[in-house]
Structure 1
Amino acid sequence: MATTIVSNKRKRNTVKLKSPTMYDVARLAGVSQPTVSRVLSQSEDVSQISKETRRRVLAAVEQLGYRPNAVARSLRTQKTRTIALLLADLSNGFYHPIARAVQKIAREHDYEVLISSSDHLHENEIHFCEIVLSRGIDGVLMAPQRLTMEELSHYVSQTNIPFVALGEHVDHPNIDIVFVDDEKATYETTRWLIEERGHRRIGYFGVPPFLPPGPGRTRGFLRAMEEAGLSVNPNHMQEGDFTLESGKQAARALLATGGNLPTALMVINDLMAIGAILTLQEAGLRVPDDIAVVGFDDIPEATIVRPALTTIAQDAYDIGQKMATALFERIENPDIGERRVYESTYKLIPRQSA
């Protein structure tokens, strides 16, 4: 038999609050609805509207809490108000400040950010570009590693949206870049190991030459050694793939060569440097007494590992800011013109590992 449950609670009278409309904004600001639309969509002729009128419209929007319908706005302006960000490895702390800076500036422009990680894989970079073209993204920020310039050129030619890339290896007339002078930074730091720390037998852990920023950093190391009249033992040069595990593998390969070990290691990034330190310590070697280790990036883990890692610090947040600022300038002013190049800073952070 069915049971009927009767509640003793009184039925509350609820009033559904109506969301403010563009009509409400126009009435409060004392202007027409088309004027409100032009102000909010930042249409090309918005400069013809007086500053006082624009101020009244924006004040009414703030007072009423009005939020334009995103779908309707995208249909009207042909913009999705979404940008895409491709990073090489979200597990690498170097990229976190870049993402934070991009998100902050995007929010200031009322944009959302689609973030993706390639995990250093070519197929993931290809997939990202395909997604960008199919989803109507308004602009692209990327740190490409595996894409060839021919492949990147193909995707750029398929769209009118702006691209901004991280790294001076991206040489394309329609792509603005932000870069750090990797060769100079590694050159100066290798000279520091030679001149300030007295090392003569220095090894290098890098990556395959087709992986940026490998070529620039490797050139800097080799140039410093050559100018100092120092030879490099081929056994002391090992390759990885930017990961902590590959740093461990490179250190194991170095130890397996036998003979005289280097007294210092210049390592292409912090994760590999930390991996090398852990493996060297497991083998009973003391860092820096037996082998000094220097990294590149200054990720948060650099201060946690023991001994704390001497490293070349990049201002990753500044890199993200520069990339996002350049992109939004292109989005808002498509006719800016020729390719622009922005250089970010670096500095050596001496700690206990070297």
Structure 2
Amino acid sequence: MTLKKDITIYDIASKLELSSSTVSRALRNNPSISKKTIDKIQKAAKEMGYRPNKLAASLRGNKTKTIGVLISKIERPFLSSLISGIEVKAQESGYNVIIAQSHDSYEDEVNLAKTLYSNRVSGVICSLAMDTKDTSHFQQFIDKGIPLVFVDRVPRDFNTFLVMIDNFSAGYKATKHLIEQGCKRIAHFTGSQLRYIYSERKRGYIAALKDYNLPLDESLICYFDNLSYKEGEKITTELLSRENPPDGIFATNDTSAVAAIKAAKKMNVKIPEDLAIIGFNDDPIATIIEPQLSTGTHPAVKMGVISATKVLEYLKKPKNQDFMEITLLNTDIIVRESSKRK
């Protein structure tokens, strides 16, 4: 099968023996062209199957009406819900969304940021890769007045829009819940301390122990590379094999918390009687596992809507406006069977 080539304004101009600039202006209903000529050109364009190249037109105007979303992994329930919120708000305003995944690689994040910049996106929303230390690859957007929003995994030292939860409070509430259920030795599963969300949740965990006069055992703070299921299973098995095992686990995501439940059950450790467990995010898996997982809420869709709103609002403002603005959201604890002793 032979594919037909796209009809261009030059094809129309050749057929009608007119200049391409006249055809271009007529297709845009420019008042400098007579109505008779406009009608003639637009009729020919329709008959020839001409389709305007909206992308090319937008690039000429430096406005693609596209928001770039740079995240770690789309299969994570939190991030897929975040994207859903972004898309709803963007589409309401006539914007498209391009999604790029760094797979928690700093190098991929740098390259993808360059690609989004080269594609002239109108704005960028990013949740950082786990191992990102240097965020200078985002300065190109600031320099060009392109609105940039960091959401959830935000940098510590970049002045722009930040949308996140109160991670200190979240860590405190989760640990407090376990303490109130009678836990005395609480292990903490955390991610890279480069990421503000994990360092702040750890800080909340430590503060709760202190407020309730429980000793801090550094050996119970477990640092994960990716907070994966495999890591959670391995570390839980090691913890429960100790002479003095923990009686509670606060995991900073639901994946590692579910792994902890599975590993404990394999070792015939009773949940929550011997080991109370709480996760974070309220992923769908939290209600599928047996016993169901207690967890902290993470308003992903709302965070997505807010992030997109910040981009869209900035695009309507004079370009000399400051970027810096922090939106901080609260979270709640959902108590289920994995931690409910009382």
TM-score by length of 1: 0.76
Q: Are 1:73 and 2:57 an aligned pair?
A: yes
Backbone CA RMSD of aligned residues = 2.5
Does the 8 Å CA contact 2:178/2:276 hold for their aligned counterparts? no
State the structure with bigger RCO (CA 8 A, min sep 6), 1 or 2: 2
1:311 to 295, 302, 327: 295
- Mean CA deviation greater in 162-171 or 224-233: 162-171
1:11 corresponding residue in structure 2: none
2:159 and 2:202 mapped to 1: Cα distance?
A: 28
Say which SS state the counterpart of residue 99 (structure 1) adopts: helix
1:212 and 1:173 mapped to 2: Cα distance?
A: 12
2:238 corresponding residue in structure 1: 253
Quote the offset at 1:153 in angstroms: 5.3
Quote the offset at 1:269 in angstroms: 0.8
Residues 231-256 of structure 1, C-alpha deviations (whole Å, 9 max, x = no match): 13333222222222221122122134
1:48 corresponding residue in structure 2: none
1:23 and 1:225 mapped to 2: Cα distance?
A: 73
Does the 8 Å CA contact 1:169/1:212 hold for their aligned counterparts? yes
What percent of counterpart residues are identical?
A: 26
Say which SS state the counterpart of residue 179 (structure 1) adopts: strand
Does the 8 Å CA contact 1:273/1:294 hold for their aligned counterparts? yes
Does the 8 Å CA contact 2:171/2:205 hold for their aligned counterparts? yes
Quote the offset at 1:202 in angstroms: 1.2
Q: Are 1:147 and 2:116 an aligned pair?
A: no
Quote the offset at 1:345 in angstroms: 2.9
Q: Are 1:348 and 2:333 an aligned pair?
A: yes
1:232 corresponding residue in structure 2: 216
What aligned pairs does 1:98-247 form with structure 2 within 5 A after superposition? 98-145=82-129, 146-152=131-137, 154-156=139-141, 159-167=144-152, 169-172=154-157, 174-195=159-180, 197-240=181-224, 241-247=226-232
- Mean CA deviation greater in 168-177 or 313-322: 168-177
C-alpha change, 1:209 and 1:24, in structure 2 (3 Å) is closer
Q: Which amino acid in the other structure matches residue 160 of structure 2?
A: I
2:323 and 2:337 mapped to 1: Cα distance?
A: 45
How many matched pairs? 296
2:191 and 2:158 mapped to 1: Cα distance?
A: 27
Does the 8 Å CA contact 2:127/2:154 hold for their aligned counterparts? no
1:295 and 1:93 mapped to 2: Cα distance?
A: 14
Does the 8 Å CA contact 2:85/2:305 hold for their aligned counterparts? yes
Unmatched tracts of structure 2, length 5 or more: 1-23, 34-50
Does the 8 Å CA contact 2:188/2:250 hold for their aligned counterparts? yes
Does the 8 Å CA contact 1:202/1:232 hold for their aligned counterparts? no
Quote the offset at 1:348 in angstroms: 0.6
Quote the offset at 1:80 in angstroms: 1.4
1:272 corresponding residue in structure 2: 256
Quote the offset at 1:154 in angstroms: 4.1
Quote the offset at 1:314 in angstroms: 1.1
Quote the offset at 1:150 in angstroms: 4.7
Quote the offset at 1:271 in angstroms: 0.9
C-alpha change, 1:120 and 1:168, in structure 2 (3 Å) is closer
Say which SS state the counterpart of residue 297 (structure 1) adopts: coil
Does the 8 Å CA contact 1:79/1:138 hold for their aligned counterparts? yes
2:156 and 2:240 mapped to 1: Cα distance?
A: 38
2:301 and 2:228 mapped to 1: Cα distance?
A: 21
1:153 and 1:137 mapped to 2: Cα distance?
A: 13
1:96 and 1:171 mapped to 2: Cα distance?
A: 24
Quote the offset at 1:264 in angstroms: 0.9
1:33 and 1:173 mapped to 2: Cα distance?
A: 48
1:214 and 1:156 mapped to 2: Cα distance?
A: 26
- Mean CA deviation greater in 178-187 or 72-81: 72-81
Residues 317-350 of structure 1, C-alpha deviations (whole Å, 9 max, x = no match): 0000000000111122234435111122311100
Quote the offset at 1:173 in angstroms: 5.7
Q: Which amino acid in the other structure matches residue 214 of structure 1?
A: Y
Residues 47-81 of structure 1, C-alpha deviations (whole Å, 9 max, x = no match): xxxxxxxxxxxxxxxxxxxx974135314421112
Quote the offset at 1:155 in angstroms: 3.8
Quote the offset at 1:275 in angstroms: 1.1
Does the 8 Å CA contact 1:267/1:294 hold for their aligned counterparts? yes
Does the 8 Å CA contact 2:128/2:154 hold for their aligned counterparts? no
Does the 8 Å CA contact 1:203/1:232 hold for their aligned counterparts? no
Say which SS state the counterpart of residue 128 (structure 2) adopts: coil
Quote the offset at 1:95 in angstroms: 1.0
TM-score by length of 2: 0.79
Quote the offset at 1:159 in angstroms: 3.2
- Mean CA deviation greater in 155-164 or 217-226: 155-164
Residues 66-123 of structure 1, C-alpha deviations (whole Å, 9 max, x = no match): x974135314421112111012222211111111111111111222111122222212
Q: Are 1:292 and 2:276 an aligned pair?
A: yes
Residues 187-213 of structure 1, C-alpha deviations (whole Å, 9 max, x = no match): 122122213x12222111112322442
